[in-house]
Amino acid sequence: MPAEIMTASGRLPEAPTGLGVEDPRRGRAQRMAGRWELERRRSEKLEQRGYAAAFALVGLIVSLAFALIRASESAATLRGDELALELMASTRFEQKLLAASSDLAPAAKVLYAKDGSWLYVLVQGDAGRLHVDVTDGGGVVRDIGAPLQRGDVATLFVPNADTPQQVSLRDANGIIASAALKYEPMH
């Protein structure tokens, strides 16, 4: 090795920096680190897109589930209305206004088969907080459900009414309207 290139310690001098000559090992390590950083960023972006896609998919599934439930409820309501109208057209029935026992009671009416086999409750106005109770001949009271709101009127059809003696409209504080039902004797 020529003496002018060697240093006093007998080693080769470091390549000067800034002249475009760098240690090839150092450059390769920096390039690899850069590639790893680029891959990490790509991976994070893909992961974020994956989460966004998953959330969008869950939202779509929940929306579809609610739509199917609504469609099912609507179909059941239509079948109930159809049956109610068919029974009203083919059987004899009575109607009674529910007498209000509270100033909060909306106007309400019950249509019922003269043999007690079915009843149809109609409530004028917002019935979202109301339930309908029936009382049988033994004094047993049972909740038969909440009227379904349809614009300014809410309805509840009960195809198997089991001859109730009284129909009542109830809110969170108790009975707000009721009607006693009378039936024709069976021949």
Can you say whether the dihedral through the CA atoms of 49, 54, 55, 57 is positive or negative? Answer: positive
Top mean pLDDT of 27-41, 51-65, 71-85, 91-105 is at: 91-105
- Tabulate helix, strand, coil % of the chain (nearest 5): 35, 25, 35
Can you say whether the dihedral through the CA atoms of 92, 94, 145, 83 is positive or negative? Answer: positive
Tell whether the model's pLDDT for residue 1 goes beyond 90. Answer: no
Residue spans of the domains in the chain: they are 22-90, 93-180
| Neighbour count for residue 26 (Cβ, 10 Å) | 9
Instruction: Provide the CATH number for the domain formed by 93-180 in this structure.
Output: 2.60.40
Contact by Cβ (8 Å): 132, 120: no
Q: How far apart are the first and last CA of the chain?
A: 131
This model's pTM is above 0.85: no
